Structure 1
Amino acid sequence: MNIENIEAFVYVIHYGSFNKASEVLFLSQPSVTARIQSLERELDCQLFDRIGKQVHLTEDGRKFLPYAQQLLQTFQKGKIHLKQKKALPNELRIGCTVSVSNYMMPAIIPKMKHKYPEINFKLMTGITDDLVNKVLNRDVDISFVRGVTHPSLLSAKFYEDPIRLYVYEGHPFIGKENLTIQDIGRQALIFFECGSLDWMRIHRVFDSLKESPNIQIQTDNSETAKKLVLQRAGIAFLPGLSASQEVKDNKLFPIDFPETAGIALQTNLITLNGENTLFFNSILDICKGLWGRTKG
């Protein structure tokens, strides 16, 4: 059965005449008439009564109409679906900082894969400056970076991860009130450095001390810093996401004090203006579902 014949049948009914249907379909009136006649031969029935310039559905025509409409709608939906698939890339390249790669992407990617099963995902980890340049140069489609602004980029504040002091099980700071910077500065400290302004604020907390803080180990990897704390090599300031599971398991304990309140790592989602907005919005929606409303 020819879908064009079904289309002509539905359009004649919708517009009330062969002439108007032919105008909408960009066909001549004889061509529309020929399509209806072909459909009638296929169905072995008469679909219209023609009285002068007026056309009326026959009883058989009324019976066939809902099926014709459903066939045409199904065909049109299929065309739209195929066009959408053709418009989607084969691969989506996502850049991310180490913390996002370690603690967020394992939850985000399966949901993106479920939503876009035909797309392959390529993840690249790096520092913010490099990731921004990769987006600007179209080497990466979308990226998670520290808070940045750029006139060529669409940017949305994605998450704020509080930086807190974490100690191991049995540490004397647990349950202790009125801790001072001096108390913390005397402890064996493991410093996780990620090069952001937020970490500079942590350093400045100790500027008032007469003696330098007792920093015994420095690392640029939050997982390394966390594992060293678990091994009781010292205590460390860590992003909350990196320590969330260990806090649940009562292996690490956050210690709060006024001087570091409000210090957090801000993560933004970026892409080039006018590009990849479908995936950009999808990732934001997924993240809101996983972690609630993004902070800030």
Structure 2
Amino acid sequence: MNIEALRTLVNIARCGNYRQVADIMNISQPAISKRIRVLEEHFRYQLVERAGASMRLTAAGQALLPYFQRILDTFDEAQNRLNEPEKWQGTIRLGAIDTIISTWLTDFLDLQQKRFPNIKLEVISAPTIDLLQELQHGNVDIIMVLGPSYDRALAEVPLCVMDVAFYGAPMGPNEPQEGTRKLSPEAVSEANIITFPRGSRPHVDVVQRMTQLKLTKMPTISGCSSLFTMRSMGERGLGVITLPRIMAEGTSLQELDLGVTLPSMSFAAVYEPAAAPPIYALTCALAAEIAADYAQRVGSGVHVPVPLAAKSAEAPTDT
């Protein structure tokens, strides 16, 4: 039994004719008979009497009619509510990693408030690993994290890709910051490398790249969850840091060549699709829109994921 079967019986009560019901619902007469049969098998009563092309409800059908009408009214009201997202109300618990918070999250929050003024956002900041656990435990609704998550049970919307490099303080106050300064293997071995939190994908990337160098001594590799703290430590000469290129612009940091390159970081908006309200998908799509706008605005170091870029290129343009 489904909602259209209930709607069919209500239309029979109104029209009393196979052809009119078929025209209103844009279905065939056999489809009408099938829907009525499903209802009658479910309730174990004859609900409709047929006389040629005419139909009328039995006493059992008349008894069920007001209940069916109330169900349809409620269903149609709910459907109409979904078609008017500006009227939605509620709170979305949003988790985001520091990289997104430090770059374009405020732009997203501004537009989200304009598009959905009755939706409140509660924002928490934590590393990707922690946010995935919070999502699994139902403590957050949507997370914006390093992706992909490789969890097929989750809905995932690509956001943007950021290039990453090693940075440090210039050797001296008079040394030019332009260009890349190369570190010797000995200097790399003695370096204090400060990167993203231990267990995160960027942290693992740094460890793997240092292993590839086959140094006589592995450098110290520590993790930090705050990009602003990492950047400050790098500027003060307290270590070699890894940082999205976009966040090194306008600072006194100098890019360093340690003999290896770091992979770019991909970001995604993630949520549990099971029983998720449509506002979750709309929120993630809005985040992707803002991330793409940010990538276009900054011009370098931030990219739109390939599938989104291809889709954008294929979109028709006004002439």
Does TM-score exceed 0.5, indicating one fold?
A: yes
1:230 aligned onto 2:235: yes
Root-mean-square deviation (Å): 3.3
**Alignment-mate amino acid for residue 191 of structure 1:** I
**Aligned ranges for residues 284-295 of structure 1 at < 5 Å?**
284-292=288-296, 294-295=304-305
Partner of 1:212: 218
Task: Choose from 180, 194, 217 the match for 1:191.
Answer: 194
Partner of 1:16: none
Report the structure number with the largest CA radius of gyration: 1
| Higher mean C-alpha deviation, range 163-172 or range 281-290 | 163-172
Question: Is the partner of 1:260 in helix, strand or coil?
Answer: coil
Task: Choose from 277, 280, 288 the match for 2:281.
Answer: 277
* In 2: Cα distance, 1:196 partner to 1:117 partner: 35
Q: Contact 1:202/1:260 (CA < 8 Å) preserved in 2?
A: no
Give the TM-score normalised by structure 1. Answer: 0.60
**Aligned ranges for residues 1-296 of structure 1 at < 5 Å?**
84-85=84-85, 88-147=88-147, 148-171=149-172, 174=177, 175=179, 179-187=183-191, 189-194=192-197, 195-207=199-211, 208-213=214-219, 215=220, 219-241=224-246, 243-244=247-248, 247-248=249-250, 250-256=251-257, 259-261=260-262, 263-273=263-273, 275=276, 276-292=280-296, 294-296=304-306
Mark the runs of 5 or more structure 1 residues left unpaired by the alignment: 1-19, 25-78
Mark the runs of 5 or more structure 2 residues left unpaired by the alignment: 1-19, 25-78, 297-302, 307-319
Alignment deviations for residues 37-95 of structure 1 (CA, whole Å, 9 cap, x no partner)? xxxxxxxxxxxxxxxxxxxxxxxxxxxxxxxxxxxxxxxxxx96896258623222211
**Alignment-mate amino acid for residue 221 of structure 1:** S
Structure 1 residues 222 and 83: CA distance shift in structure 2, 3 A: closer
Q: Contact 1:149/1:155 (CA < 8 Å) preserved in 2?
A: no
* In 1: Cα distance, 2:221 partner to 2:203 partner: 17
Q: Contact 1:190/1:235 (CA < 8 Å) preserved in 2?
A: yes
Structure 1 residues 90 and 220: CA distance shift in structure 2, 3 A: closer
**Alignment-mate amino acid for residue 196 of structure 2:** E
Q: How many residues are paired up?
A: 214
* In 1: Cα distance, 2:294 partner to 2:221 partner: 36
Structure 1 residues 173 and 163: CA distance shift in structure 2, 3 A: farther
Question: Is the partner of 2:260 in helix, strand or coil?
Answer: helix
| Higher mean C-alpha deviation, range 273-282 or range 142-151 | 273-282
* In 2: Cα distance, 1:173 partner to 1:234 partner: 19
Give the TM-score normalised by structure 2. Answer: 0.57
Q: Contact 2:135/2:143 (CA < 8 Å) preserved in 1?
A: yes
Question: Is the partner of 2:112 in helix, strand or coil?
Answer: helix
Q: How far off is 1:164 after superposition?
A: 0.9
Structure 1 residues 132 and 82: CA distance shift in structure 2, 3 A: closer
Quote the sequence identity (%).
14
Structure 1 residues 97 and 267: CA distance shift in structure 2, 3 A: same
Structure 1 residues 277 and 270: CA distance shift in structure 2, 3 A: same
**Alignment-mate amino acid for residue 294 of structure 1:** V
Q: Contact 1:198/1:265 (CA < 8 Å) preserved in 2?
A: yes
Structure 1 residues 226 and 186: CA distance shift in structure 2, 3 A: same
